[in-house]
Amino acid sequence: MKSGRFGCIKEKLKGVLVATIALLGTFDTKGEEYTWLKNCLTDLGVDVLGIDVGSFSTSPLADISSDAVIAAAGEDAAGLRERRNRGEMMTVMGRGAAEVIRQLAADGRIHGLLSLGGSGGSSVAAPAMQALPIGFPKLLVSTMASGDVKPYVGEADSTLMYSVVDVAGINSISVLVFGNAAAAIAGMAKAYEARLTLPPADLKPLIGLTMFGVTTPACNEARETLTELGYEVLVFHATGTGGRAMENLVNSGLLAGVCDLTTTELADDLVGGVLTAGPDRLELAGAKGVPQVISLGALDMVNFGPSDTVPPQFADRNLFVHNPTVTLMRTTTEEMVELGRRIARKLRAAVGPTDLFIPLRGVSAIDVDGAPFRDAAADEALFTVLRDGLAGSNVVVHELDQAINDPGFGKAMAEALHNYITSQ
pLDDT digits (tens, 9 = 90+) for 148-175: 888 888 878 899 999 998 888 899 999 9
Q: Are residues 336 and 399 in the same domain?
A: yes
The yes-or-no verdict on residue 336 having pLDDT over 50 is yes
The yes-or-no verdict on residue 108 having pLDDT over 80 is yes
Mean pLDDT for 209-232 is 97
Say what percent of the chain tops pLDDT 90: 82
pLDDT digits (tens, 9 = 90+) for 363-386: 999 999 999 999 999 999 999 999
Q: Are residues 101 and 128 in the same domain?
A: yes
CATH of the domain at 317: 3.40.50.12030
Kindly provide the b/e burial profile for residues 216-231, where b requires at least 16 CB atoms within 10 angstroms of the residue's own CB: bbbbebbbebbeebeb
Mean pLDDT for 116-133 is 91
Mean pLDDT for 302-320 is 96
Q: What is the pLDDT of residue 49?
A: 97
Task: Annotate the chain with three-state secondary structure.
Answer: CCCHHHHHHHHHHCCCCCCEEEEEECCCCCHHHHHHHHHHHHHCCCEEEEEECCCCCCCCCCCECHHHHHHHCCCCHHHHHHHCCHHHHHHHHHHHHHHHHHHHHHCCCCCEEEEEECHHHHHHHHHHHHCCCCCCCEEEEECCCCCCCHHHHCCCCCEEEECCCCCCCCCCCHHHHHHHHHHHHHHHHHHHHHHHCCCCCCCCCEEEEEECHHHHHHHHHHHHHHHHCCCEEEEEECCCHHHHHHHHHHHCCCCCEEEEEECCHHHHHHHCCCCCCCCCCCCHHHHHCCCEEEEEECCCEEEECCHHHCCHHHCCCCEEEEECCEEEEECCHHHHHHHHHHHHHHHHCCCCCEEEEEECCCCCCCCCCCCCCCCHHHHHHHHHHHHHHHCCCCCEEEEECCCCCCCCHHHHHHHHHHHHHHHC
The yes-or-no verdict on residue 5 having pLDDT over 50 is no
Is 166 within the bounds of a domain? yes
- pLDDT confidence tier of residue 251, bands split at 50, 70 and 90: confident
Q: Are residues 285 and 357 in the same domain?
A: yes
Residue 94, φ and ψ in degrees, nearest 5: -65, -45
Q: What is the pLDDT of residue 151?
A: 82
Is 3 within the bounds of a domain? no
Q: Which residue, of 165, 196, 227, is where some domain finishes? A: 196
What's the half-sphere exposure (Cβ side, CA atoms, 13 Å) at 37?
33
- pLDDT confidence tier of residue 293, bands split at 50, 70 and 90: very high
Mean pLDDT for 182-209 is 87
The number of domains in the chain is: 2
Q: Are residues 210 and 304 in the same domain?
A: yes
Q: Are residues 381 and 266 in the same domain?
A: yes
Q: What is the pLDDT of residue 2?
A: 39
Is 270 within the bounds of a domain? yes
Is 1 within the bounds of a domain? no
Q: Are residues 95 and 174 in the same domain?
A: yes
Q: What is the pLDDT of residue 6?
A: 46
Q: Are residues 41 and 61 in the same domain?
A: yes
Q: Are residues 143 and 245 in the same domain?
A: no
Q: Are residues 415 and 337 in the same domain?
A: yes
pLDDT digits (tens, 9 = 90+) for 194-205: 888 766 656 799
Q: Which residue, of 196, 216, 248, is where some domain finishes? A: 196
The yes-or-no verdict on residue 256 having pLDDT over 90 is yes
Q: What is the pLDDT of residue 1?
A: 31
Q: What is the pLDDT of residue 378?
A: 98
Is 338 within the bounds of a domain? yes
User: Whole-prediction pTM value?
Assistant: 0.73
Q: Are residues 92 and 20 in the same domain?
A: yes
Is 5 within the bounds of a domain? no
CATH of the domain at 73: 3.40.50.12020
The yes-or-no verdict on residue 11 having pLDDT over 60 is no
Q: Are residues 213 and 93 in the same domain?
A: no
Q: Which residue, of 167, 196, 225, is where some domain finishes? A: 196
Q: Are residues 181 and 296 in the same domain?
A: no
Is 149 within the bounds of a domain? yes
Q: What is the pLDDT of residue 16?
A: 46
- pLDDT confidence tier of residue 253, bands split at 50, 70 and 90: confident
Domain of 140 in residue numbering reads as: 14-196
Is 388 within the bounds of a domain? yes
Question: Whose CA is closest to 418, among 265, 128, 204?
Answer: 204
Mean pLDDT of the chain: 92
Q: What is the pLDDT of residue 201?
A: 58
Mean pLDDT for 108-136 is 92
Q: What is the pLDDT of residue 3?
A: 41
pLDDT digits (tens, 9 = 90+) for 39-64: 999 999 999 999 999 988 889 999 99
